[in-house]
Structure 1
Amino acid sequence: MEIGADGLPFAPFSTALRALRQKLPAEFAAAAAGQEEELARLLPELCDAAPLPGTGGRNGEEATARLFELTARLLEAIAAERTVVLALEDLHWADASTRHLLSYLFRTLRHGRLVVLASYRADDVHRRHPLRPLLAELDRLRTVRRVELGRFTRDEVGRQMAGILAAEPEPKLVDDIFERSDGNAFFVEELAVASHGGSCANLTDSLRDLLLVRVEELPEDAQRVARIVAEGGSTVEYDLLAEVAGLSEDDLIDALRAAVGANILIPSPGGDGYRFRHSLVREAVGDDLLPGERSRINRRFAAALEADPSLVAADQRATRLASYWYHAHDAAKALPAVLNASVEARRRHAYAEQLRLLERAMEIWDEVPDDVCLRLRPVDYTEVYPPCGCDPETTPLRYLDLMAEAAVAGRLCGERERALKITKRALRLLEEEPDPDALRAAWFWVQRSRLVQTLARGDGWKELATAQDLVRGHPPSVVHAEVLAMVAGWSMLHEPGPEAFAAAEQAVEYARMVGARDIELTARLTLGGLMVDAGDIDAGFTELYDVREQVLASGSVGPVGRAYINLPSVLEGVGRSREAVELLDEGIGLAQRYGLLESEHWMWANHSESLYALGRWQEAAASARRAGLSAKPRGGACLRLAHLALARGDIAEAARRLADARKHFGTHDPMPQNSLPEHRVAIGVAAGEGRILDARAELAQAVAAGFPPGTQRYGWPLLLAAATAEADARALPVAGPGRTETLHLIRTTAKALPAPVPVWQAYELWVRAELLRAENRATPDDWLAALTAVAPLERPYDLARVRHRLAESLLTANAAAGSGAADRDRAAELLRQAGTVAEHLGARPLAEAVAQLAQRARLSLTGVDPTEPLDPAEALGLTSRERDVLRLVTAGRTNRQIAEELFIAPKTASVHVSNILGKLGVAGRGEAAALAHRLQLFRAP
């Protein structure tokens, strides 16, 4: 507890020694033997009566020195045979005697396994604090090490909150508490405990009182300056503070010196202003202001800034002025200032800030005099103004214009619930008008459709159909083009086919007619994806890449998200995973730059899918965990994590992730891109738990729903999972009834499912081989055909699985025909290759299957001939040249150095390195080198 500098002497040491005596009574008694009377000054219970100061022939100084020496010897004696840690917390509250004893110990302790830890809060150690001389003294001692504990990062705050709340906190709550606490662990705990309903809006009374204690100890002028700074912003420039404070320069400097000396305020990093050391202290000081006092301070800030805009940096003027006038409760001044600030926020892609400002504008709209509103124009403040037959240059700004802008800002920054409420309210207002604007209403219905789909509240078609009815019969317009583009996009996801293609073409045509460039690019993205799905692959990718180039060239933010979501997704759909990852890396950077939070989270989900295919599973899991903003990206991320859990043998985790995915997707918006992967995981979970009948039921449900055009990317993995489950369960008695019908269902479905690109052609052969295995008819030739098709795909896990099956088939054929050793040698090599990949990926079921097969066949996985072990690089599928390149990569050579040593071009060396990274399933050169060392790929002869 805080007892102050004049409190009980030696209180921390008394507590510590008492604990030590209770823990080690015999050792303590032996170490203190003969010195109990003097040590009783620290621990009175050591003897009946402590000697009075000055007795025993020693004066006060001698007695103190003797006490310090005996304490040091006591600790050294107990620490002679064991480690002893003496911890003193909150040293800034320690009394003078404790500080002197601690200093003595640091200077004299030399023996024993003893660690002395003392902590203090730097914020509480002001310039005249009595601890400062001790700290300066200790810094000069070689035996003392000072450790600066920085404030918690955002991730550390999240982990602390999870421990306090016994549950994973919502990301938004973590962000709020991290921002308000400045990473101070104590403040984090207080705010976390006080948080209810997922928010931390208010400070508790106890925390507010604690924060205000030191402020209230300041001189009156310093308290006044602190109150002004609290209302001025995160940092208040000195010149602006001087204008508002109204103090003489000397008085202002004295007040600031007192506040800085007490660690309430600190100079800003640039040295031109002041800020609170802790945001929560500023918040507490601001909350303590009287209503009239707050308004007056903000009005003075606003007036000063209007009179001299140079008092703050140019990029802060609009936002600061808007805040000052808003908190000054001057609606006429505040509305234009808030709208100007919202435009600045939009230009910086700060959509969350834009939404907050627009909501303030809507809040004060009714308080603003009519003549002020009439002077405002939509063209000055809005970017998404829906055409309504009026000239935005002469028409006054309407409340609905603000709602339109706020709805888009909310969607872009991830605040979809707020955006949905705004659209609903806007549609109610339009219904109440005597002559509703059909185009404006259609525009809001489009926004509502987007939000309903993203929030998994429905499929959005009802809203789109309403919008279509509203624009029908109207001449081409921007709204009409947007409705058509949305219909095309919806159809591509729900009912792909000729109708979706026609809608996309019409959307492109209308957008060009009315000059809606962003809508045209968005519709062309849909059109390109539909072309690829229909089999016109080259033309479709030409369209998609052309749109991407135009998006980048135009600098338009709108289509960026769609371009970097759709194009990588379509690339993944044809097996071009590495290309998809490269584009997603680029797109994520752009989304972060432009503040497109919703698009970013979709990109993370797609990123995870492509990384999984490439065998970069750890990165895939990390990407999936970052796709957590809204329901559907979360659902996709859960499916990615479920696939990983299945491959790693964690069936319970896969089932949990599948349940989470289904919860996020809901039942109101069924889409093949969600439902088919769900069925695939469900089949894997059921098969892993031995529930083959449930696996068949999932298959039947998926086939009954059908495989629309373009869904082969989900259909083939599903059929493979079903065929593999049947083959694995062929020996189970319960699987016999119904097997023939299930295998027939898989075969007939596979015949109707297109395989337009190599990856799905390989899956077609793989599914065929698994079906034959289920009937005990698979031959090595069947599996060799699948292996030949899978090998070039750069999918290490798939390749390892097929290698395992080919080895199994070779050994079965060898046992049946009694053929020579060649098949056994080939099988052993295949198992080594599959086992190496399985071990690297952590694919436990595959690794165990490989080991069990090798054990049954009595094959060594360390080499074909134990006396001449196979080069481990072969197990990874590396060519001779790639092994030479990897050897030099492991030695730390650059591409240019590799090229010079191997007499090849640097570009060729770069291609070899990329191929090596793909075959090893690693992310970079360092990881490749580490794997080569771990697997001893280049052992010394």
Structure 2
Amino acid sequence: MLGPVETWFVSPVFVGRTDELGTLKDALARAAAAEPQALLLGGEAGVGKTRLVEEFATAAARREAVVAVGGCVEVGADGLPFAPFSTALRALRDALPEEFTAAAAGQEEELARLLPDLGETGAGRHDEQGMARLFELTARLLERVAAAHTVVLVLEDLHWADASTRHLLAYLFRTLRAGRLLVLATYRSDDIHRRHPLRPLLAELDRLRTVRRIELARFTREEACRQIAGILAAEPDPVQVDEIYERSDGNAFFIEELAVAGRQGDCAGLTDSLRDLLLVRVEALPESAQRVTRVVAEGGSTVEYRLIAAVVQLSEDDLIEALRAAVGANILTATRAGDGYRFRHSLVREAVADDLLPGERSRLNRRYAEALEADPGLVPADARVMRLASYWYHARDAAKALPAVLAASVVARRRHAYTEQLGLLERAMELWDGAPQEVRSALRPVDCTEAYPPCGCDPVTTPLRYLDLMAEAAVAGRFGGERERALKITKRALRLLDDEPDPLRAAWFWVQRSRLVQAQARGDGRHELATAQDLVRGLPPSEVHAEVLAVAANWSMQHRPGPEAFAAAERAVEYARMVGARETELHARLTLGGLIVDSGDPETGLAQMRQVLRETRAEGMHPVAGRAYVNLPSALQSIGRDREAAPLLREGVDFCRRYGLLDSEAWVWGNLSDALYSLGRWTEAAEAAAHATRVGHSAKPRGAGALRLAHLALARGDLDEAARQHTAARTRYGTHDPIPQQSLPLARITVGLAAAEGRIGDARAAVLLALDGGLPPGTHRYGWPLLLAAATAEADARTLPAARSGRAEFLDRLSTAVGALTTGVPLWQAYGRWTRAELLRAQGRDTADTWSPVVAAFECLDRPYDLGRVRHRLAGALLTEGGEDERDRAVELLRLAAAVAAHLDARPLADAVARLAQRARLSLTRAPRQDAAPADPVEALGLTNRERDVLGLVAAGRTNRQIAQELFISPKTASVHVSHILGKLGVSGRGEAAAVAHRLGLFAAEPLAAEARG
């Protein structure tokens, strides 16, 4: 419209930044080689970030890369959430329309939350995984688009980013693993004060080795001289360079402003004030152009031409002349699309906006709002509601602002921008009392909320209440991760309900507090749920009542399975059906199915769970279906049907990934790891567990993955890795909410690590702590492995002196727990027999007759590792009995166990089999490991015969003086031998040496019998 204008204010020469540009070009080359790149570009305002990005974008385009740029608006709650991503994705779609369409196929409804051009966003109820689901789908979209083309995604001005944009960027930086993609984000480093919301994100990204951070420094004097020469198109006077460099301190934008001012003859009139420096050229404009710049400064980061015209109220000719002057002075610049204007540098916009008077600012916002109300087509449709809400809010007109802000909160919710929704709802609560009663009375829940809580009123005819806003804000805070703010809102709401009793609403808020308390690691949420149950008890069926019962049933299933959980689930199903709460009904039926399986009627329970899975898939209730893909296979695994569960879990992974159900996908990966472990596919099990640690949005499913990795490492004899993953799992689970399905497996790993290191006291303490917490019905699948680990540790440590104290009492406690635990299916019957056999071994009373039924039980199950372990035990018992037939059978059992150990790389089992065979002088044709240590463990350790004798006495608890008396040597010589032994074993004390000797079987008076039992 304006035609060519003079732009000699900017140096045509790109100055400096050689190293930084080289880093960006290197990242581009890596991205082109299908190695995704993530970069952060920081620097103070005016230092030259935008110019560097423009230069890099030009270079990338020359290399046939597709460059898509999006910028953040200045105040997140005033603009469209995800605005930079929306802009960048729109540019990407325009550049690669066919590839973009193919990559988004099938997910348009969800991706429309980021790019409204794709169609209407999905309806239906939102959930806590909504934002994570959108993030996952966005990451997959970018990976697919960048499969065949190098894509550069630039997000500018991250210091202004809304919370949702920050969360999405962090997710992309953490998870992008494929595609020819480079993501570059810029930010102002001088704006990042101690409480700036970007600071935690930068700290988090700094810990990622995949993210490179570039900080732009100010120009040197030589670089400043080259910039001034480019602006002036002549070699500058050295005195002028010195003066400009000193006053600008090397800031590229200030150098430019000072050089231009000097060229125009204004340099002498400049003050030292930064604001005056930025405003000097604005104040030199004609009055009409100054008026236009003030209007544009208050309109937003970018303002459409038609909107400017409606607000500034100049004739079209006068407006164009004013804009020409502002653009000619390089204060304003046209947008890339050519439909609006923005300030060439945000520092100038801030200075102009700060120069407005308070009344002037509110008047301009009112004129913007009135113009937009009169003609909604003045701005893009997807930004209209947010812009109108911002204008009316800053106009200080509560009557107009309240409905506009509530409408904007609906847009934020539909985009899964829950943090922005919460901010808008807090604005609405701030405006509530200032709005006239007739305005508030005209509002309806359906207009601005999802009618939380569902209280049975008609959301179309019932007036909106302040409590409705608080309820919606509490949900937005929970979904958006702002749980502390949500907790404060629920606390205030419950205080209001003390004055205006409403049991259903109060119960609903208590349920929210239960969820928030658990998420914030403040407790297990039981007190809050019990309060909600008390409030609805005796009331007629309602949606709230059904939800309270369903949540309580699910809580009880995880914490205290039993009749109370069963009854709550049944009533939740009944009430949900009566009031038409379909989603609540399906959740409750899924819980009920799991409880039926645990109660001893697996086929009925599994049938119910399969039906829920079919119905949720057919009805498009993806989050509930994701939960079904976790719970149904888990129920199958609980009764030993891992082979049936595995393909269902594979199907669940694909389903959850397709719909972006990150937490459900992580739980599914964890369950798949368990199934593969049981089936003897340990390499695949480790891969599945690693997936669980990466894809989960929340900490607990990632903790479950770490727990599986710890279990695998322990079975393979890698104690350091097992301890590391055990710590990671414990950290992610936390200690505020001990759930048996988490605490019991953690205790099992604790016992295994302690027993392997000879710390029998620590092993017992972990078991007793778990038993004190109880093993309620339904926890047998976690209780049996723990009791087995405890009994095995006691049996292995039977001859250790340190294990004698308290042994009898501990074994009695274990026997009591074993007798109380259910064995309703063949798998747990087998585990029960095995655990009882280990208890007999701990007392030295096990025989071949003890172990034969155990082996027979496991031969009917799909558990090759467990079968190998019990075959090893039976072989030892047979060798102890000493007959020729028994010896031949033992050889075959050991061969089978060795084969399993070699296949799985189960080193502890392989070593135990090899030691038993060596001490019994048996020849196994297939060695457990090709790189096995020498047959004699003493030779492997480099011990002399004398040192072997000394080690045996150390293991028996002898002092140096007692060793000297028994071996007819001096105490000093005995001490030297002990020192040599500690060095060769790599241990720090006599207790650890004794534990090693025990594992080698060097301490027993009857080596064969001891090894057979140990």
TM-score, normalised to structure 1, is 0.62
What amino acid maps onto 1:89 in structure 2? Answer: D
CA distance 1:864–1:540, shift in 2 (3 Å): closer
Partners of 1:546 and 1:602 lie apart in 2 by: 21
In the TM superposition, residue 531 of structure 1 has moved relative to its aligned partner by: 0.6
Residues 470-619 of structure 1: matches in 2 within 5 Å? 470-556=535-621, 559=624, 562-577=627-642, 615=682, 616-619=685-688
The aligned counterpart of 1:358 is 425
Which one of 811, 820, 826 corresponds to residue 752 of structure 1?
820
Residues 766-915 of structure 1: matches in 2 within 5 Å? 766-775=834-843, 786=854, 789-790=857-858, 799-800=864-865, 802-804=867-869, 806-807=871-872, 809-810=874-875, 813=878, 816-818=882-884, 824=891, 827-838=894-905, 845-846=908-909, 849=912
Which one of 498, 519, 524 corresponds to residue 459 of structure 1?
524
TM-score, normalised to structure 2, is 0.58
In the TM superposition, residue 400 of structure 1 has moved relative to its aligned partner by: 0.7
Preserved CA contact (<8 Å) 1:584 1:603? yes
Preserved CA contact (<8 Å) 1:624 1:640? no
CA shift digits 1:185-211 (9 cap, x unpaired): 885987889567994599999999969
The aligned counterpart of 1:881 is none
The aligned counterpart of 2:740 is 672
Partners of 1:255 and 1:92 lie apart in 2 by: 35
Partners of 1:330 and 1:588 lie apart in 2 by: 51
Partners of 2:11 and 2:432 lie apart in 1 by: 56
The aligned counterpart of 1:688 is 756
Partners of 1:741 and 1:533 lie apart in 2 by: 31
CA distance 1:581–1:428, shift in 2 (3 Å): farther
Partners of 1:864 and 1:687 lie apart in 2 by: 23
Partners of 1:190 and 1:177 lie apart in 2 by: 21
Preserved CA contact (<8 Å) 1:825 1:864? no
CA distance 1:240–1:731, shift in 2 (3 Å): farther
In the TM superposition, residue 556 of structure 1 has moved relative to its aligned partner by: 4.6
Preserved CA contact (<8 Å) 1:230 1:282? no
CA distance 1:335–1:148, shift in 2 (3 Å): closer
CA shift digits 1:269-301 (9 cap, x unpaired): xx9789999xxx869966984275876776566
Partners of 1:289 and 1:541 lie apart in 2 by: 65
The aligned counterpart of 2:96 is none
What amino acid maps onto 2:528 in structure 1? Answer: E
Q: Residue 267 of structure 1: SS of its match in structure 2?
A: coil
Moved more, 366-375 or 740-749: 740-749
CA shift digits 1:707-741 (9 cap, x unpaired): 21111111111112112212322332222344455
The aligned counterpart of 1:623 is 692
The aligned counterpart of 2:470 is 403
The aligned counterpart of 2:492 is 425
Partners of 2:625 and 2:306 lie apart in 1 by: 42
Question: RMSD in angstroms over aligned alpha carbons?
Answer: 5.6
Preserved CA contact (<8 Å) 1:226 1:259? no
What amino acid maps onto 1:380 in structure 2? Answer: D
Preserved CA contact (<8 Å) 1:430 1:436? yes
What amino acid maps onto 2:611 in structure 1? Answer: D
Partners of 1:544 and 1:847 lie apart in 2 by: 40
Task: Select the structure with the greater relative contact order (CA < 8 A; seq sep ≥ 6).
Answer: 2
The aligned counterpart of 2:787 is 719
Partners of 1:215 and 1:586 lie apart in 2 by: 60
Moved more, 448-457 or 581-590: 581-590
The answer to whether residue 51 in structure 2 is matched with residue 124 in structure 1 is yes
CA distance 1:410–1:864, shift in 2 (3 Å): closer
The aligned counterpart of 1:932 is none
The aligned counterpart of 1:385 is 452
Partners of 2:558 and 2:361 lie apart in 1 by: 53
What amino acid maps onto 1:674 in structure 2? Answer: Q
In the TM superposition, residue 180 of structure 1 has moved relative to its aligned partner by: 13
Q: Residue 600 of structure 2: SS of its match in structure 1?
A: coil
Partners of 1:478 and 1:214 lie apart in 2 by: 65
The aligned counterpart of 1:89 is 19
What amino acid maps onto 2:402 in structure 1? Answer: L
Partners of 2:329 and 2:859 lie apart in 1 by: 73
Preserved CA contact (<8 Å) 2:710 2:721? yes
What amino acid maps onto 2:832 in structure 1? Answer: E
CA shift digits 1:1-39 (9 cap, x unpaired): xxx9999x9xx9xxxxxxxxxxxxxxxxxxxxxxxxxxx
Partners of 1:465 and 1:577 lie apart in 2 by: 36
CA distance 1:253–1:531, shift in 2 (3 Å): farther
Preserved CA contact (<8 Å) 1:612 1:620? no
The answer to whether residue 520 in structure 2 is matched with residue 438 in structure 1 is no
Preserved CA contact (<8 Å) 1:814 1:823? yes
The answer to whether residue 801 in structure 2 is matched with residue 733 in structure 1 is yes
Partners of 2:636 and 2:392 lie apart in 1 by: 51
Preserved CA contact (<8 Å) 2:898 2:910? no
In the TM superposition, residue 527 of structure 1 has moved relative to its aligned partner by: 1.5
CA distance 1:231–1:492, shift in 2 (3 Å): farther
CA distance 1:284–1:396, shift in 2 (3 Å): farther
CA shift digits 1:527-552 (9 cap, x unpaired): 11211110111111221222233333
CA shift digits 1:400-430 (9 cap, x unpaired): 1011122223333443333222211111122
What amino acid maps onto 1:444 in structure 2? Answer: F
The aligned counterpart of 1:97 is none
The answer to whether residue 771 in structure 2 is matched with residue 703 in structure 1 is yes
Gaps of 5+ in 1: 13-86, 94-119, 157-170, 867-941
Residues 140-151 of structure 1: matches in 2 within 5 Å? none
Partners of 1:720 and 1:226 lie apart in 2 by: 77
CA shift digits 1:497-524 (9 cap, x unpaired): 2232222222222222223223222222
What amino acid maps onto 1:496 in structure 2? Answer: P
CA shift digits 1:751-771 (9 cap, x unpaired): 432233344344334434544
Preserved CA contact (<8 Å) 2:898 2:926? no
Partners of 1:215 and 1:199 lie apart in 2 by: 30
Partners of 1:201 and 1:297 lie apart in 2 by: 35
The answer to whether residue 410 in structure 2 is matched with residue 343 in structure 1 is yes
CA distance 1:531–1:91, shift in 2 (3 Å): closer
Preserved CA contact (<8 Å) 2:389 2:404? yes
CA shift digits 1:160-182 (9 cap, x unpaired): xxxxxxxxxxx999848859999
Partners of 1:361 and 1:409 lie apart in 2 by: 14
Preserved CA contact (<8 Å) 1:643 1:681? yes
Gaps of 5+ in 2: 1-9, 24-46, 71-84, 86-134, 140-162, 174-181, 204-214, 219-247, 261-280, 931-1014
The aligned counterpart of 1:166 is none
Q: Residue 531 of structure 1: SS of its match in structure 2?
A: helix
CA distance 1:459–1:287, shift in 2 (3 Å): farther
Partners of 1:609 and 1:231 lie apart in 2 by: 59
In the TM superposition, residue 375 of structure 1 has moved relative to its aligned partner by: 1.0
In the TM superposition, residue 467 of structure 1 has moved relative to its aligned partner by: 2.3
Preserved CA contact (<8 Å) 2:902 2:929? no
Q: Residue 341 of structure 1: SS of its match in structure 2?
A: helix
